Amino acid sequence: MNKRTLDAVNNQIQAEFQSAYIYLSMSAIFEDMKMSGAANWMRIQWQEETAHAMKLFDHLIRRGQAPDLQSITAPDVTFESALDAFEQVLEHERHVTRLIHSLYEVAVEEKDYALQTLLHWYIDEQVEEEENAEAIIDSLRLAGSSGQGLFMVDRELGLRTPEAEGEE
Ligand code: FEO
């Protein structure tokens, strides 16, 4: 793996851990708002993002490269409502999708076929991540300001369970 590709993978590992940290922060805020279902959803998202980082980390190890971990900054997260929070999730996931596509372009330009194959999984995963956020936004829009509606969405979010290994 050449330096350009290695640097790009290390940057993506940082972005995935940073994403995990943002979602853990959102989980803490939802706990404080007594929305335990949304807090659960965010906590599982934290686990998923950590798994995304580790999949790249392990790829480097398997290729005989030492991952170079970078700083993660304190998340600067605030939101006015659950809808606001999930709109931020969607924006963030769109940002991550762009990062994954840029990383894929590096893998293509540098003819790193093994990395390209690995990144196919991430490209599919980003479609799912954006789709999930959009579905929750739709539900929250339907619920509007109805306490009962929000209660039901929160209960639904509380049903999310960690995905099996390899399905993150
Ligand atoms: Fe790892 Fe949510 O992208």
- Give the predicted TM-score (pTM) of the model: 0.94
pLDDT along the chain (168 residues), means of 10: 97 98 98 97 98 98 98 96 98 98 98 98 98 98 94 96 70
In sequence order, the 6+-apart residues with CB closer than 8 A to the CB of 19 are 49, 52, 92, 96
Domains and CATH numbers, the chain: 3-73+80-158 (1.20.1260.10)
Give the pLDDT of residue 167.
58
- The backbone torsions φ and ψ at residue 165, rounded to the nearest 5 degrees and listed phi first, read -50, 130
Give the pLDDT of residue 166.
54
Taking CA atoms only, the protein residue closest to ligand 1 atom 1 is 49
Does the C-beta of 154 come closer than 6 Å to ligand 1? no
Dist. CA 147 → ligand 1 center (Å): 30
CA proximity to 90, closest of 22, 167, 153: 22
Give the pLDDT of residue 163.
82
